A and B are shown apart, each in its own frame.
Chain A
Amino acid sequence: MRPGDRIFQNLTTGAGIFVVALIGLIGIFLLIQAIPALKADKANFLTNHGWSTNDPANMSFGILDLLEVTVATSVVALIIAMPVSLGIALFLTQYAPKKLARPFAYVIDLLAAVPSIIFGLWGILVFAPAIEPFAQWINETFSWFPLLAPGNVAPSVRGTIFTAGIVLAVMILPIITSLSREVFERTPTPHIEGALALGATRWEVIRTTVLPFGKAGYVGASMLGLGRALGETIALAVILLIPQGKNFDWSLFDGGATFASKIAANYSEFNNEVSAGAYIAAGLVLFVLTFVVNFFARSIIGKKGD
């Protein structure tokens, strides 16, 4: 092999190895920085609700509340985004006129290009006041149902998981849509033509060919959306109100903080290494969480792709 070739091949291979190593490095560095804080933690890191890290000598923090709020917002977002994304993906692949399908897809992709802080500010300053009457109505009418009971951030119903979940749903729509669309597009044409030849209506064609073929891909895409939702930071930090001294109580009208929004909202504590360690520990949990979700999502999609 010529020297130029050898150098170039090693360079590109090195870049590949670097990327593979990067994920490991992220985990290792977060772990190293988290350990001193975890040792100084006076409470159980996994089961404690409270989070008190102001005094580095006397820290007591746990992730249970963060975990609950993170899961709650992400699940709300997913429940809204999944059917809508399915609808859009079907619209773009099966319904939209061929000439318009591409521009329409571009319009949906534009949603992904909007910076998340703009979504956050729009969510709390414009969207939340607009749906407040609706939120209030649901809250009052169905308050007997635990999930819709009055929340812990009285009196307003703006900075709640309800609002945050809807905004988050909008933010994860494009990723679920674009991946589902790619899968649906690959439905074998003979299947579709076969169904049409048997006299199936448009919906029957979709139900009998497109959906069975694309189901795994759609589930994988939704999990990727879930991964995005779990890690979304600034939009949630802007929208969610943090209640004073109250825990998350499994109502959609509760406020609270997710892993990511908690870290982002308390950046001022990063001038102290030990306090910062507590947040890094929370970040490590978030990293593991998103890693697992993305891992499974990619495995599902990868299997279907071959």
Chain B
Amino acid sequence: MSTTSLEAPATTPAFQQVSLARKVKNGLATTLVWLSFLIAVVPLVWVLYTVIAYGIKRIPYSNWWSQDFGDVLSDEVGGGVLHAIVGTLLQGLVCAIIAVPIGMLVAIYLVEYGRNGKLAKATTFMVDILSGVPSIVAALFIYALWITTLGLPRSGFAVSLALVLLMIPVVVRSSEEMLRIVPDDLREASYALGVPKWKTIMKIVLPTAMSGIVGGIMMALARVMGETAPLLVLVGYSAYTNWDIFKGEQAALPLLMNNERVSNPMDPGSVGFDRIWGAALTLVIIIALINLLATVFARLVAPKKK
């Protein structure tokens, strides 16, 4: 008798049936959204495939990693990119040595001292604006400052300075984020023990956030190593290995790629073509290695969970 009332609700719900039009719209939206994701994946896969498929030709040979193009003709098979690897790593390293301390100090200021003050707000805003400064503008600024105003020569170091401008905002942003998630309890416990603020920051806050900060720094470093525009304006290309960052022309992987593009015909299978994609794959490998290193290092310095 009462079982019938359990089988069907007393009143039919308002939205029991979804009309066909709504179903179609929903289906269409779902399809479009999935499609747009696939659209973005296609160029990524295509670019990576191109770099690997064309680049793989030269890099398995040991002279690719141990020689430069110094005594090799531009249309001659042989030689390697050691000179460009040296330049890329040196310029990146010097850039990091300058940009990382500044970036971290700014992040510490924003999180520990600024706390929504006027200067802190202005700093945050300017860091955001700085992250939008085109790399060519950073290069022109260093040109105007370093080469025209101070009269110093073009060099790998001038490139590093331009890269510093591009690296600082990324370091600030990622470090700030990591410092903010350090629990306040840790700071308060340290103050309660009478530890000065600067020591608390150096010994408690920074080590806690370090694994995340290192990750951010490595990402930033990998990004600036792929920059080309500052290299064009601030240093000349040399096919010989140059270990001196303050003097003379110095190659870097992106600069080498651009130089081969300008000076060689770009037919698939030609020497210039192979060199470009070989250098591209080398650059991608270096960037991947740096990221891997960052992950491993971050794991090592991460605070132990019991």
A-to-B contact residues, CB < 8 Å? 2, 4-5, 7-9, 11-20, 22-23, 25-26, 29-30, 32-33, 83-88, 90-92, 94-96, 104, 107-108, 110-119, 121-122, 125-127, 170, 173, 177, 198-199, 201-204, 206, 224, 227-228, 230-234, 238, 259-260, 263-264, 267, 270, 273, 276, 279-280, 283, 286-287, 290-291, 293-295, 297-298, 302
Is B207 an interface residue when CB atoms closer than 8 A count as contact? no
Task: Give complex CA distance A121, B280 in Å.
Answer: 10
Query: Closest approach, in angstroms, between the C-beta of B271 and any C-beta of chain A?
Result: 15
**Is A231 in contact with B276, judged by CB distance below 8 angstroms?**
no
Q: Which of B22, B136, B197 contacts A8 (CB 8 A)?
A: B197
B226 near A117: Cβ-Cβ < 8 Å: yes
Give residues in B with beta carbon < 8 Å to A: 13-15, 18, 22-23, 25-26, 28-30, 32-37, 39-41, 43-44, 46-48, 50-51, 102, 105-106, 108-110, 112-114, 119-120, 122-123, 125-130, 132-138, 140-141, 143-145, 148-149, 165, 168, 172, 196-199, 201, 219, 222-223, 225-229, 232-233, 254, 257-258, 261, 266, 268, 273, 276-277, 280, 283-284, 287
Q: Once bound together, how far apart are the Cα atoms of A264 and B136, in whole Å?
A: 7
Given A113-B287, A233-B228, are A203 and B30 also a contact pair (CB < 8 Å)? yes
- Between A and B, 23 residue pairs with Cβ closer than 8 Å are A19-B123, A19-B127, A25-B141, A26-B137, A33-B144, A87-B32, A91-B37, A95-B34, A117-B226, A117-B258, A118-B47, A118-B283, A127-B43, A199-B14, A202-B26, A203-B28, A203-B30, A224-B132, A263-B229, A264-B228, A290-B137, A293-B132, A294-B129
Cross-chain contact A16 with B13 (CB below 8 angstroms): no
CB pair A5–B197 under 8 Å, yes or no, is: yes
Contact A104-B37, Cβ < 8 Å, known A26-B137, A32-B144, A117-B257: yes
* A125, B137: Cβ atoms closer than 8 Å: no
Q: What is the count of residue pairs linking A and B with beta-carbon distances less than 8 angstroms?
A: 265
Contact of A115 among B23, B145, B254 (CB under 8 A): B254
Contacts of A83 in B (CB 8 A): 36
- Would you call B144 and A86 a contact (CB within 8 A)? no
Contacts of A87 in B (CB 8 A): 32-33, 35-37, 39
Docked complex Cα distance between A5 and B22 (Å): 64
Q: Are B129 and A12 in contact (CB under 8 A)?
A: no
- B interface majority secondary structure: helix
In the complex, the answer to whether B39 meets A84 with C-beta atoms within 8 Å is yes
| Residues in chain A near residue B135, CB distance under 8 A | 231, 233
Q: Shortest Cβ distance from A298 into chain B, in angstroms?
A: 5
C-alpha gap A104/B141 in the complex (Å): 37
